[in-house]
Amino acid sequence: MERNVYQRMALFLSQQNQLASGKTAELAYGLEILFINGMNLLLTILIGFFLGVLPGTIACIIVAAAYRHTAGGAHSRSPWICAIATMIIFPTLACLGNFLSNGPPYYSYTIITAAALIGYYAVHFYAPVDSPQAPIISPQRRQKLKKYSYLVVSLLVLSLILMEAMTKYWLAARGVQLAAALTLIWVSFNLSDAAASFWYMLDNQHNSKNRR
């Protein structure tokens, strides 16, 4: 049986600690989660820093992590596509938030209202969205995740509203607020069927290029 690098590392760790065979798979999963998400986070923050939108990028990451934790969403089958998409999407949303913050205040009010409405709509009709790699088996767990998704969206919308007060004291606050609102819209889109088709199309594009 061919093992990937995470499985080999997990096997070494479980042999050294004399763990049961079932724990090796859990260790490999933990290693994969830690490595992929760690690299994604680090590279996305670096790109945000070099583009001069670090606070906005961090806000995008926090919103996406909190929202996707309970609501889930569409996924790519390739860790490379995921890494590239994450590195492009979050700093872009932060730049877009920064750019829109120079416009009149009704821009931000419209975007925040749209984010709240789209967020609640997506949670009501789609959340939680699982994947074949991580299926949600129990109906109770599904129900619980849906309730938590409502709670997370409510907290995020409340934070967006409260951030309005910060715009008087912190110059970048408006940009960060808009970046967070745009991320809320992006993650809500990721719950829809259109997002599943979008990621499927990206995966297939990648695979057809590899075959050539």
Query: Using CB under 8 A as the criterion, which residues of the chain lie in contact with other proteins when the complex forms?
Result: 10, 13-14, 16-17, 19, 22-23, 25-34, 36-37, 40-41, 61, 64-65, 68-79, 81-83, 85-86, 127-131, 133-138, 141, 145, 190, 199
Return the number of the residue (71 or 112) whose C-beta is nearest other proteins: 71
Amino acid making up residue 138: S
Q: Are 108 and 177 in contact (CB under 8 A)?
A: yes
Element (H, E) at 170: none
In sequence order, which ranges of 101-191 are alpha helices (DSSP H)? 105-125, 139-166, 173-189
Q: Of 20 and 171, which CB lies nearer to other proteins in the complex structure?
A: 20
The residue among 10 and 172 lying less far from other proteins, judged by its C-beta, is: 10
CA–CA gap between residue 160 and residue 190 (Å, rounded): 20
| Shortest Cβ 205–other proteins spacing (Å) | 15
Check whether the bond before 139 is cis (ω within 30° of 0): no
For the chain, the farthest-separated pair of C-alpha atoms sits apart, in whole angstroms, at 63
> Minimum Å distance from CB 95 to other proteins?
19
DSSP bridge pairs for 134: 131
Shortest separation between residue 87's beta carbon and other proteins, angstroms: 10
Measured from the CB atom, the residue of 154 and 167 that comes closer to other proteins is 154
Report in angstroms how near the CB of residue 112 gets to other proteins at its nearest.
Answer: 23
